[in-house]
Amino acid sequence: MNRSAALPHGARSTSTLPEQPGVLVVRKHHFLVRWSHWLNVLILLGLILSGVSIYWASPIHQHKPDPNTGNTDVAADIGVWVCAHVPGLHHYSSPPDWIYNHMSLGPGILGLALRLHWFCAYLFMLNGVVYVAGLLGGGGWRSLLPRRTDVLGALRMFRYYVGFPFAKLACRKWPHPVFNTKYNALQRAAYFSVPVAGLLSVATGWAIHKPMQLLWLAALLGGYNAARVWHFWLMWVYILFVVPHVILVFADGWDTLRSMIVGWSTRVKRSEVVTHEL
């Protein structure tokens, strides 16, 4: 790994240009981590959209047929409810398909969705390898490891986030908990969980894809049907992660967002490196 590739002229440039005051930056994200991070946005989107289209063919969450419509799919019920209650949707052409029309590639295209899902799944696995290589190459993996103080630290962060809007409204000071690590305890929990969820998604995916040849894997996950349920609910881990992740990145500021593109941050002092980003 050529570290100097990312920021080569560090000391040298200051010595050749002694007049110009240097900017102190910290190297935050390895370039492989950054690339895989952004690639993952598209890959996960593709996996979720095609995954919901696949879900349509045989929903996991079903109930006894509705006496009027014969519908058994909970997702279709939600679509019907949405169309009945959201203004402007009362004349929607097929309410049971509302979820699938808006949150998937569409209903009734199982073959196309499977093909895309597997394509994205192979990319997802490759991208995971790139991400891990970046973590190892840049030493970033150490910042993600859970530690003993994390339960308390996470509670403090949680208290901070919950209280933040109220403190703002009351114009009260609401200091950010101080950490001398790259991430705070909540971030660490999130950034550690998401790769683990990725690994589990891959494992449950293979268990569903090859339940006979990878029988041991399906058995480990509680059988074929249980693997399907796991696989579906793991999708929600990403969705539940992404929402606060994006909100907090923007709340935290330009430096944090930029660091995932350029790799460095100007928040050098340990107390400043502590970011609000989750």
Partner 1 sequence: MNYRKNCEGKTRTDGATSSVAAKSVSAKKPQSFFGERPLPAIEMAPRVLRYRSRRDFLLFGTGALAALAGGGFLLPQETLSRIGVRRNIDSPAKEWFLNRALRIDDDVAEALYSETRRVPTYTKSQITPLKNNYNGATPDPGYIPGWTLTLDGLASGLSISLDFRNLLTRFSVHEQITRLVCVEGWSAIAWWAGLRFDDLLRAYPPMSQAKWARLESSVNLDASGNRDPYFMSLDLATARHPQTLLATHFNGYPLTVDHGAPLRLLVPMKLGLKNVKAITGIMYVAEEPRDYWAERGYSRYDGI
What residues numbered 188-207 form the site for partner 1, per CB under 8 A? none
Instruction: Please state, in angstroms and rounded to a whole number, the distance separating the CA atoms of residues 243 and 112.
Output: 28
Question: Nearer to partner 1 by C-beta: 26 or 167?
Answer: 26
Rounded to the nearest angstrom, the gap between the alpha carbon of residue 12 and the centroid of all alpha carbons in its chain is: 38
Question: Nearer to partner 1 by C-beta: 37 or 176?
Answer: 37
Please list every residue from 208 through 227 that binds partner 1, using CB under 8 A. 208-215, 224-225
Identity of the residue numbered 173: K
Question: Nearer to partner 1 by C-beta: 202 or 214?
Answer: 214
C-beta of residue 61 within 8 angstroms of C-beta of residue 229? no
Instruction: Please state, in angstroms and rounded to a whole number, the distance separating the CA atoms of residues 140 and 26.
Output: 13
Using the rule CB under 8 A, which residue among 71, 101, 199, 255 binds partner 1? 101
Residue 171 Rama label (left phi>0; alpha psi -120 to 50; beta): left
Please list every residue from 4 through 63 that binds partner 1, using CB under 8 A. 4, 7, 9-15, 17-18, 20-28, 35, 38-39, 42, 45-46, 49, 54-55, 57-58, 60
C-beta of residue 162 within 8 angstroms of C-beta of residue 258? no
Using the rule CB under 8 A, which residue among 65, 111, 163, 165 binds partner 1? 111
Count of residues that bind partner 1 according to CB under 8 A: 75
Q: Give me the least distance between CB of 141 and partner 1, in Å please.
A: 9
Please list every residue from 116 through 145 that binds partner 1, using CB under 8 A. 116, 118-119, 122, 139, 142-143, 145
Please list every residue from 148 through 167 that binds partner 1, using CB under 8 A. none
Q: Give me the least distance between CB of 126 and partner 1, in Å please.
A: 12
CB atoms within 10 A of CB 33: 21
**Which residues make Cβ contacts (< 8 Å) with residue 261, sequence separation at least 6?**
34, 38
- DSSP β-bridge partners for residue 73: 62
Q: Give me the least distance between CB of 188 and partner 1, in Å please.
A: 10
Q: 202 vs 38, 211, 278, CA distance in Å?
A: 19, 13, 24
